[in-house]
Amino acid sequence: MKVYTLKISALLLASVVAGNSFAQVGHYLYPYSEGVVYDNNGHDLAGFAKSNKKETAYKGGKIDEFSGGTWGYLQVTNARAPSINVLPGKEKKVIYSYTDRIDATVALFNTKDGIKGTWWARQCNNPQGPMFYKKVDDEGNLDIPNVRYGDFTREMETKKFTIVEYNDSVYNQRDYDQLLKNYILIENGVVKDVNDYKAIIEFYNNFLSKFTYVDDPLLENKSFVTFFTAGNTKYAGYFNIVHGKLGGHVQLADIQFEQDKDPFVAYIMKKLTGKVIFVYGDDIFGLEKTFLKYKHDHHELTFFRRKTDATEKFNKEN
């Protein structure tokens, strides 16, 4: 393989094409960090900050207002960069691999000091590999502070929930299991009215109140499907207990026809890891018979129906 010097041209980086899934695990440990931050033809932290900084500040500010400062907000996207290998010797030489590219997450988050950015990747592009971050000189291309992802973790560690809005279908949920407490993944654009965040916060604060505490071994085999309406929009969410935390995903409950019900429920159920399933919400959008059918076909699962005014805690042994 040809050996290049450390600096790489933006023209070559333009050949890094984003994909819709994690690439194959590679041989080189690290991504080309400058490419992740500013030297990737706009598909980098600098480009993401330029296009999404105002939106992150606005949504983050509203979520902070609606929650009384108890919820966090993060906006993320994927940036693919070549992987690199530093050759030993007196002169620093680097091999760039455009075959073994690495998916890096670039992120913006709101703080009392304004918007900050961070990024991370997994070594060798292995979704379960060690996390990696390197501070680089952005050469004036980044107009927000670029901090280590641990700074973001500390910012969010006191929050009841963190909303993670993703702008690209490529993301590694294990990252948020590791970095955050309770979190909700939502695709950016699903929430079209900013006031829906208020209803989301109120619904999930009430949901959280149904736990004596989340870090409980009795919850490890339990998963949760939630339904609620915000404004005129119907939402569904599913949650698993991961490392003593609630990790979940909220999406539109887009059930337009009778034939949509079976695949909708089957899709959500495949995302759950627990064998004890709680279906939570006052209105589950006509899916009662669909869940009963699914329960009949899957005897290994135990189902419970809970409404929002229920006083019994999820921690109870079932």
**For residue 109, what are the β-bridge partners?**
74, 116
d(CA 210, CA 54) in angstroms, rounded, equals 35
Q: What is the pLDDT of residues 179-211, one digit of tens each?
A: 999 999 999 999 999 999 999 999 999 999 999
Q: Which one-letter amino acid corresponds to residue 14? A: A
Render the burial of 176-205: b for 16+ CB within 10 Å, e for the rest. Answer: beebbbbbbbbbbeebeeeebbbbbbebbe
Q: Is the pLDDT of residue 102 over 70?
A: yes
Q: How far is Cα 240 from Cα 269, in angstroms, rounded to an integer?
A: 11
Both tokens assigned to 60: 């983050």
Categorize the per-residue pLDDT at 3 as very low, low, confident or very high, splitting at 50, 70 and 90: very low
Decide: 67 and 61 in contact? Cβ < 8 Å: no
Q: Which residue has the tokens 């993320």?
A: 76
Token pair of 285, please?
């959008």
Enter the tokens of residue 311.
């006083």
The answer on pLDDT for 17 being more than 50 is no
Confidence category of residue 93, pLDDT binned at 50, 70, 90: confident
Facing residues of 48 across strands?
A: none
Is the model's pLDDT at 161 over the cut of 80?
Answer: yes
Q: Which residues pair with 97 in a beta bridge?
A: 83
Domain boundaries along the sequence of the chain: 215-318
The CATH architecture annotation of domain 215-318 reads 2-Layer Sandwich (3.30)
